Amino acid sequence: MVKRDPPRLSLSFVTSNAAKAAEAATFLQALGIEVHPVVRRLPEPQSERLEEVASAKLDAASDVPGAVLVEDSGLFVDALGGFPGVYSAYAFRTLGVAGLLRLLDGYPRGAEFRTAAALRWRGTHQVLTGAVRGEIAREPRGTNGFGYDPVFVPEGERRSFAEMTLPEKSSLSHRARAMAAVSSRLRELLARPASGSSKK
Ligand code: ITT
């Protein structure tokens, strides 16, 4: 029997955030998917749903040829009714991690990090998600990662994401879970070429 190598998959990942691209690329490359970062800030609509924001970002990248991946992530804090959520980038620029900690002073610390990834693949538009529950730390800890990593402690861990190596963060993270879903969907689409779109 002739043994065939699995087809080589390749995606352009469009983002303004180099650290995010590096995380996604490392994770997907380990699964045999080549990732080419395209550094660009895509317009984001005002929406309450990460999935809609990710979808709109993908539409805004219509000039990027071939298979294209974008994602939108957010930190949803229970005691703040899900804030900063879809406003996480704005809250990070304005309040910063210190401002978030001040808002949470005296409140329960439960939170969830979520990613919605939107993929354009052979004319289809797919939206896949990943999430991780955790807690907001009392003070920033660690120097790895980016954004809210110093204050997010994933469930079952004592260390913040910023105290973990990239492989450790990727064994648990919202982004890695969304990228794992992207990889599975790609394999399904390759096995059974799809038509139409799936936005879920
Ligand atoms: P894009 O160009 O891809 O939109 P961005 O940095 O604006 O890049 P998001 O809107 O998805 O990305 O991110 C919202 C905010 O959440 C932003 O301040 C990020 O730094 C932060 N963030 C996203 N993923 C994170 C992660 O894995 N760990 C810590 N902070 C994260």
pLDDT tens digit at each of 200 positions of the chain: 555 555 578 999 999 999 999 999 999 999 899 999 999 999 998 899 999 999 999 999 999 999 999 999 999 999 999 999 999 999 999 999 999 999 999 999 999 999 999 999 999 999 999 999 999 999 999 999 999 999 999 999 999 999 999 999 999 999 999 999 999 999 998 887 555 555 54
Specify the pTM: 0.92
Instruction: Name the DSSP class of 141.
Output: -
Rounded to whole angstroms, the Cα distance separating 115 from 142 reads 22
Nearest CA to ligand 1 atom 31: 147
Nearest CA to ligand 1 atom 20: 147
Exactly one of 5, 59, 63, 72 is catalytic; name it: 72
Cβ contacts of residue 72 below 8 Å, gap of 6+? 44, 50, 53, 54, 57, 86, 115, 116
pLDDT score of 140: 98
- Catalytic annotation on 5? no
Q: Which residues line ligand 1 (CB under 6 A)?
A: 15-17, 20, 41, 72-74, 88-89, 92, 145-149, 161, 173, 175
The domain ranges of the chain are 9-191
Give domain 9-191's CATH architecture. Alpha-Beta Complex (3.90)
Among 15, 20, 161, the mutation site with the greatest number of ligand 1 atoms within 8 A of its Cβ is: 20
Nearest ligand 1 atom to the CA of 174 is 27
